């Protein structure tokens, strides 16, 4: 199981994540939201709310209770080099 260790904001809907396997990746939240629906996702469509994310127990979380597992976010992220 891959966990998120750190996250940094790289834009309104982009996150740069460090994972427990040593990898780094860029998660495009706008692209994620384009293909998904649901009541917990609706607040994330506002940039101010999307930026309220935090890491808890290895997942990317938001105050409304939405959690994206570290493994899932890793699968959806674009790899970054360690120098990026």
Q: Provide the residue count of the chain.
A: 84
CA 57 to chain centre: 13
The predicted-structure confidence for 17-73, as pLDDT tens digits, reads as follows 999 999 999 999 999 999 999 999 999 999 999 999 999 999 999 999 999 999 999
- Distance between CA 74 and CA 64 in Å, rounded? 22
Number of other residues whose CB lies within 10 A of the CB of residue 13:
18
Closest CA to 52 of 43, 42, 62: 62
| pTM as predicted | 0.92
Q: Where are the domains of the chain?
A: 4-80
Assess contact for 82 and 10: CB atoms under 8 A.
Answer: no
């Amino acid at each position: 199981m891959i966990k998120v260790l750190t996250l940094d904001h790289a834009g309104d809907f982009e996150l740069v994540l460090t994972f427990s396997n040593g990898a780094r990746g860029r998660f495009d939240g706008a692209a994620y939201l384009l293909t998904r629906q649901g009541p917990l996702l609706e607040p994330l469509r506002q940039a101010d709310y999307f930026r309220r994310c935090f890491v808890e127990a290895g997942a990317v979380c938001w105050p409304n209770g939405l959690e994206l597992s570290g493994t899932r976010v890793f699968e959806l992220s674009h790899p970054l080099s360690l120098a990026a």
